Amino acid sequence: MKIPRRHFLHLATGVAALPAFPAIARGQAYPARPVHIIVGFPPGGSADITARLIGQSLSARAGQQFVVEARPGAATNIATEAVARAAPDGYTLLLVTQTNAVNPSLYKNLSFDFVRDIAPVASVLRIAGVMVVNSSFPATTVPAFSAYAKANPGKINMGSGGNGSAQHLYGELFKIMAGIDMVHVPYRGQPLNDLLGGRLQVVFNPIPSTIEFIRAGKLRALAVTSATRQDVLPDIPAVAEFVPGYEASGWFGIGAPKDTLAEIIGKLNREINAAIADPKMKTKFSDLGATVLTGSPADFRKLIADETKKWGKVVKVARITLG
Rounded Cα gap, residues 90 and 86, in angstroms: 9
pTM of the model: 0.86
Phi, psi of 130 (to 5 degrees): -140, 135
In this structure, the strands spanning 183-186 and 157-160 are: parallel
Intervals of the chain under pLDDT 70: 1-28, 323
Model pLDDT, residue 323: 63
Q: Is the domain covering 5-127+249-317 a CATH 3.40.50.2300 domain?
A: no
Q: Which part of the chain is CATH 3.40.190.150?
A: 5-127+249-317
Rounded Cα gap, residues 129 and 213, in angstroms: 14
Which of helix, strand or coil describes residue 202? strand
Q: Which part of the chain is CATH 3.40.190.10?
A: 128-241
Please name the CATH architecture into which domain 128-241 falls.
Answer: 3-Layer(aba) Sandwich (3.40)
Rounded Cα gap, residues 76 and 117, in angstroms: 15
